[in-house]
Amino acid sequence: PGRPAPAAPRTGTTAPQFSDRQQVTAGTGVPGPRPEPARRRRPEARISQRVIPRDLRPLSLRDELVELGGLFRAYQRRAEPDLAMLADLQERKARAFLAWSDASCDVTLRLEAQRAEQAAAVIRRQHLHRTGEVAEGEEPGVARLLNVPQWEYARSVLTHVAGHTPLPGAEARLLVLMLTLRTAHTGTGNLVGQDVTGLGLTDPEDLIGKLTGCGWLDIPGTVGDLLASRPENPTPVTVPSLVPGTDGSGPFTFGRKTRPKLSGWAQRVVSDKKLRKAKAPAGIRLLALTLATSTDDTGRLGPGGQGIPLNTLATRVPADAGELRYLIDRLTATDWLAEAALTDTHLTGQLTERVLPLTCPYNEWL
């Protein structure tokens, strides 16, 4: 008595809710478990197309590799090269990869460290020559097979062949290129069987038959005679489209003495001992020739080392994206190419030190 009566419960009310977004488990009045938020993984850090492990120790080594990867990518975006900076980066990379090899017991990292050290030495030497800090009479950093004017001539032949090969495919392109270099000055030249059979062609007899059949090539006898010919008895061949006109002009501007030098250069590239040992097919040899004429003076691909646009590369090497990746991998395996990276728009990378004498750098950075 004297106590107020308890208030009547309100109608239409519901059980208490902890959140208007939570679902209550039936019959318990307890909210169900919250969904686990999706975890966003940080992007993998990379350098030279290698993933840097998140658990790599010491941490200072991992930080150095991550920073170097960013610095190399920033260098590739530069408008102009800085060889002193690039040499410093390569030296840092050599030290970092050597430490990484010791930490992970990965011998391939040690090999890459050695390549970086060699690249640093070449780049440093090029920088000293460019700035005039190397004394007169000293040997140049890279003794190239062709000289500066001949580099442009080599590119002009590759450009001409890209637009004047009468048959499709890399094999036809490579054979037409080599025949063009043999006959470029007068439209005529001498050929022996080894010149053709050494190119890694699937069926050289059939291919030569097609070139003669469409009128691009003239030979005095049969295809079998040409393939059997030896240096003491070469076969004279003619490419009618290269015979000078009545005014004496042809498609090329270089002279009689330059032609054999260009032909010898191309022969050195396609018959490289590691390409021969790997029995490289025509596409790989054609890519090797193309890359040799597509570097800066340190061997980085593209003008200023900025890479080669894929649409430009496609005009020189007839291959789709999948085939091109295969060719790049094979060329890397033969110690021609290092640090290769293929994006949707460009191929970047570095030709190895052993093939730098065969390169024809772009002149704008010299």
Q: How far apart are CA 297 and CA 184, in angstroms?
A: 27
Q: Cβ(179)–Cβ(239) under 8 Å?
A: yes
> Highest mean pLDDT: which of 81-85, 144-148, 159-163?
159-163
Tell me the C-alpha distance between 175 and 178, whole Å. Answer: 5
**Tokens standing for 138?**
């000293």
Q: Is the pLDDT of residue 347 over 70?
A: yes
Q: Which residues pair with 350 in a beta bridge?
A: 300, 338
**Quick one: pLDDT at residue 2?**
55
Q: Please, where are the H alpha helices in the chain?
A: 59-76, 83-104, 107-131, 148-164, 170-183, 193-197, 204-213, 223-228, 258-270, 273-277, 282-292, 310-316, 321-333
> pLDDT tens-digit profile of 219-246?
999 999 999 999 999 999 999 999 998 8
> Is there a contact between 357 and 288 (Cβ–Cβ < 8 Å)?
no
The closest alpha carbon to 348, from 328, 366, 323, belongs to 328
Residue 360 has what DSSP assignment?
-
As given in the structure block, the two tokens for residue 242 are: 């290269």
How is residue 166 written in tokens?
Answer: 């009468």
**Residue 349 φ/ψ, nearest 5 degrees:** 160, -170
The model's confidence at residue 121, banded by pLDDT at 50, 70 and 90, is: confident
Segment 71-97 mean pLDDT: 87
Is residue 137's pLDDT more than 50?
no
Q: How far apart are CA 114 and CA 314, in angstroms?
A: 32
Render pLDDT for 181-216 as a digit per residue (tens, 0 to 9).
Answer: 999 989 999 999 999 999 999 999 999 999 999 999
CA angle 37, 40, 42 (to 5 degrees): 160
Predicted confidence at residue 136, as pLDDT, reads 46
Percent of the chain topping pLDDT 90: 60
pLDDT of residue 349 exceeding 80:
yes
Coil vs helix vs strand at 183 = helix
Nearest residue to 353 (alpha-carbon basis) of 174, 7, 90, 48:
90
